[in-house]
Amino acid sequence: MAVSEIPEHTPIPQLLPWQAEQWQRLSTQWRARRCPHALLLSGQPGLGKRAFADAFSAVVLCAQPQDGQACGSCKDCHLWQAGSHPDFLRVEPEKVGAPLKVEQIRRLDNFVSRTSGRGGARLVWLAPAEAMNINAANALLKNLEEPAASVIFLLISDSPAGLLPTIRSRCQSIVFPSPPEEMALQWLRGRGLEESAAVRALPLSGGAPLLAAELADTKCEEVRQQFLQEVTALSQGRVGAVAVAGRWETPPEHTDLGQLLQFWQQWVTQMARVRSCNSMGDTQVMALLQRLPGAGEGSLRALFAFYDQLLQARKGLASGANPNRRLLLEELMIRWSRLFSQ
């Protein structure tokens, strides 16, 4: 089983400002001994769901919580921080982007069937939940249908629609929306990010502050600008769709294909917003929009249709289905170029 140990002396995560409501709800249930046996933490990437799950796991296992948080100093906290707590199991794919396999889920049986090592609750931390293949999902379902006493499953998902409905129905849903823009910008400024960099990165992250902080990294910014130049050149007919797809099939370091498609989605969103609201936008996005044929609803329908194609492509990548990336990119590049040649 892929069980990721937390490095020694790892601090217990602090709650993020936009997680207060979810924490209040869940901690109230826990203190009242009404915590469900399965929780589904969902929301787009970059909102801190995994850190939230870590913080909740730590306080559930803590022998002497203080002010609703894990104390960080008892033996249980030390064991959790060292990644060796006998009542905590972290399950992840064997490598980034790989599926969660049925063998990994079946090995949960030993953990959930034994008695608690420290006399309290036991927690299974599993992410990304949508990475389970169908056999793995069915194996997990058996545990959810017949929950063992004192076991709490924490399923973390960026795309809960990729889970079996029967799994979703057996979990209490904890949804993490994007925080208000000013709250997100304030958090980014608190991390030392310049205002201009934060304002550029936040829309590209879909409003997710942690992802925005990553995107504001200089090397990531360089990759994003290079990709924007390529899709701009494609819209101008200066490069071919197949050639561009070949160059970006394996993205440079500091990014991945899913992120590239998210950038693309945000540019399309900005184009649609500018055209529908007759407003101004980013200079480079405005340049793309000026080349787009048509006006009004006709051109917007084409943009929305392409946006949906990007969304489906991202879902395919996130599902662990392992689509042919070269063909996926070629199709998107061809459809993009056609938008500007109608």
Residues near 299 by beta carbon (within 8 Å), at least 6 away in sequence: 275, 292, 293
- Report the CATH fold assignment for 217-339: Zinc Finger, Delta Prime; domain 3 (1.20.272)
Q: Hey, how many other C-beta atoms are within 10 angstroms of the C-beta on 219?
A: 11
Which element (helix H / strand E) includes 157? strand 151-157
| Pair of tokens at residue 109 | 């049986």
> 261-276 in b/e burial notation, b at 16+ Cβ within 10 A?
bbbbbbbbbbbbebbe
pLDDT tens-digit readout, 9-49: 578 889 999 999 999 999 999 989 899 999 999 999 999 99
SS3 96: coil
Sole residue written with tokens 């997990």: 140
pLDDT digits (tens, 9 = 90+) for 319-337: 656 678 899 999 999 999 9
Q: Beta strand 122-126 with 151-157: parallel, antiparallel or unpaired? A: parallel
Measure Cα distances from 146 to 132, 143, 155, 252 in Å. 19, 5, 16, 45
Dist. CA 5–CA 2, nearest whole Å: 9
pTM of this structure? 0.80
Domain ranges across the chain: 17-175, 217-339
Tens digits of pLDDT across the chain (342 residues): 344 444 445 788 899 999 999 999 999 999 898 999 999 999 999 999 999 999 999 999 999 999 889 999 999 999 999 999 999 999 999 887 778 999 999 989 899 988 888 888 999 999 999 989 899 999 999 999 988 889 999 999 998 988 999 999 999 999 999 999 999 999 999 999 999 889 888 888 889 999 999 888 888 888 988 999 999 999 999 999 999 999 998 888 777 888 899 889 888 988 888 877 766 666 787 888 888 887 666 678 888 999 999 988 887 777 656 678 899 999 999 999 999 886
Superfamily of chain region 17-175? P-loop containing nucleotide triphosphate hydrolases (3.40.50.300)
pLDDT digits (tens, 9 = 90+) for 241-259: 999 999 998 888 777 888 8
Sole residue written with tokens 């980034």: 96
